[in-house]
Structures are given as structure tokens and as C-alpha cells.
Chains A and B, each alone.
Chain A
């Protein structure tokens, strides 16, 4: 095999042409600095599981995001027969390219899978799928629920009746 996969060169070219904004995001920078990673928490609490309980859920989210453009029966089609790239669907290969890029630029010192999560959130914000403000507000409501802050469930249940029972990874 060659030293550099020609598909990677092509992907590199495509992604560089798309030029998604890879500048830092304040909210994620704060989490990067203040967030306690699983490595640290598991050691402190004496937990043996090498992965945080949300790791598989994160993988699942990544897979679900890719479900359209890389629909299972499309994946083996020649490239020209697939749908065009779209910011409404997060193609798995593009996401991994962006993860590599964002990790190298911002999250290299964050352990895995925390850095995969930060890179995914970064990608979704920069693609305009969600805004930083929306993400911050959702984090606040999720945090209130998980930490059982008084009244945390009231608004959430009204707007998302299905989600109140789905907390936790």
C-alpha cells in the first residue's frame, strides 16, 4: 500500500475547501479546562471501568448523525452515486476528519473519549446545527436535572415530555 491513502488526500482537499471554522468555542474551552475527565473521576472514586458510562451513547450519537448521507445501503455505492455532503447530516468520515483536525488544534491534551465529545460538539456548532447559546442553555437544564435542582424538571417536561425519563447515559 502507498504511504498516504489517496482517498485521504481527496478528503483532505474537500475538507480544506469547505473550510469550516475551527476557531475555539468559549463554552467548550471552559469545559476543557474545568471539566473533570473520567480518568480522574474513576481513580478518585475507585471505579474500574476504563470508559465513562456515556461513551457508548456518544458513539451511538455519532452513528445516528451519519444515518442519512451514509445510509447503510448507500455506503458501498460509488461516490458519485451517493448524496452530496450536507450540513444537515454529519457524514462519519467528514466528522472523523474534523475530529482529527480539532483535536490537533484544541483538544490534544484532553483524554479520550472526552476529546471525541468536545470535537463532536465543536463540529455541530460550527456547522450551524446547534448554536453555542443553545448548547449552553441545554447544558444548564441537563445539569439542573441531573443534580436534582428544585424545579429543574418542570419546564423540561412541558417542552420535551419524552426526554425527562431519558436522562443519564
Chain B
């Protein structure tokens, strides 16, 4: 293999046309800037920050909590402080520096037990713990999920492939302007002796929202169908 083999690899495929939606996004942004609603600099800075976000810090928080009882106690008691150890500063980090309404808040870590399962929603809009979990998935934003999970949590979780025994209580936590939530699930069997890295791999975004439970060998979120709301409240 020569030093130049890398140059022979075909370039990664890319979309080679400009869509109307791409144009619309840029047009809306430029007009808002021209009208003084915000500055290009603030937009750039915020966008760069948003690109750094993802579910890894939250996954690492859970993995650490599984391995260290003292850290677990801290996480459940003070999610904001526990976040510091996975590199997320809720108090003086990016959101509060200049940022966004829907992130500055209090992170709470919801501990599952063998008889208690937590699941997170935002019934009002789509509040989500972005600094520690990244962008929310499409289904989380839909009125269908937001309205049904509070009424029929067990059935909705079953649609996600999570069928819970009757003796497991389901508790739905509603995000709000003050609090964001992630779920600390029960550590699954078959992970004895695993490292923090190995454990973090099975703590997926859906596990952290609470619509899935961690399983050895499952390291990605399943593709979820997005349903329209049927006769949604108020519409």
C-alpha cells in the first residue's frame, strides 16, 4: 500500500444541486440579520456551538453512574454538578453566555429502578436537554408523541418496542422552562466487567429519553415512524 493510496479513494458523495429549501433557509436568515433581529456573528457563534452537541456526554454520565455509586448519587441529586464531569457546564457554559431560552435550565437525572421506568416529553413545545443530548429527534417534536405519551405511556412505549411488565410503574416527566431531564436506566445484565467506553456505547439517545432500554449489542437508535396527530387537542 503506497502513501498515496488515500488520494485514490473516491470523494464522499455530496448533493450537487441547490434546493429551494436551502435557498429559503439562507434567505430567512439574511433578512432577519438585515432587519437587525440578530447579528451574523451571534448566529455563527451559536451555530458552531450547536455543531459540537450530541448525546455522548449524557451517555458518559450514565456509564459513569453505573460504575461509580458516589457519582450516581451526585447525578441524581445534582445533575448540573454531575454534568461538569462530562464536560457540560449548564451554569456558565454556552447557553447562558448569550444564548437560548430552551436550554438554560436545571438538568435532572431520573433514576429508573426495576419497578419504575421514566420517560421524557415536552408537552408544551419541544424542550430538550440539548447541551448534553444534542438535537431532538423528529418524533420527539411531534404533537402526536407529545400528546399521547402522557395519556397512554405504556402503549406508546410499546410502539417504540419497549413492552413493560404490569408491575413496572411508568412515570412521564414533562420538560419545562426550568427543568430538563435525562433518564438513568437500569444497567443491563451481560455488561459485567465492561469499561466506561463500552457502557457508554449502549446508552443511546432513545435510552436517555426513556423510550428504549440499554441492551448489549444495541448501539444505535431504531428508525421511528412519525405519525400525524389524529384530532389533536385544540385543532
Contacts and interface: CB of A to CB of B under 8 A. Distances in A.
Interface of A: 1-5, 7-8, 11-12, 16, 31, 34-38, 41-42, 44-47, 52-61, 63-67, 70-73, 75-76, 88-89, 91-93, 96-97, 100-101, 104, 108, 112-114, 117-118, 120-121, 124, 129-130, 134-135, 138-139, 142-143, 146-147, 160, 162-163, 166-169
12 contacts: A58-B25, A61-B28, A63-B100, A63-B101, A88-B37, A92-B101, A104-B235, A117-B28, A139-B23, A142-B27, A163-B30, A163-B33
B174 A5 contact: yes
Given A72-B100, A75-B105, A163-B30, A57 B16 contact: no
A40 to B, nearest CB: 9
A41 B17 contact: yes
B50 interface: yes
Given A1-B172, A96-B126, A66 B100 contact: yes
A54 B21 contact: yes
A47 B15 contact: yes
Contact of A121 (B13, B28, B138): B28
B219 to A, nearest CB: 16
Interface of B: 13-35, 37-38, 40, 42-44, 46-47, 50-51, 95-102, 104-105, 123-126, 135, 138, 141, 143, 150-151, 172, 174, 176-178, 226, 228-229, 232-235
Nearest to A76: B178
B11 to A, nearest CB: 12
Given A3-B150, A66-B100, A169 B22 contact: yes
B141 A45 contact: no
A33 to B, nearest CB: 10
Contact of B37 (A56, A73, A117, A129): A129
Contact of A112 (B17, B31, B96, B138): B138
A118 B19 CA distance: 13
B179 to A, nearest CB: 10
Nearest to B138: A112
Contact of A120 (B28, B40, B123, B126): B28
Contacts of B37: 64-65, 88-89, 129
Given A64-B38, A146-B23, A168-B26, A135 B102 contact: no
A63 B102 contact: yes
B123 A8 contact: yes
Contacts of B16: 45
Contact of B27 (A3, A37, A67, A138): A138
Contacts of B226: 112
B40 A163 contact: yes
B30 A160 contact: yes
A4 B172 CA distance: 13
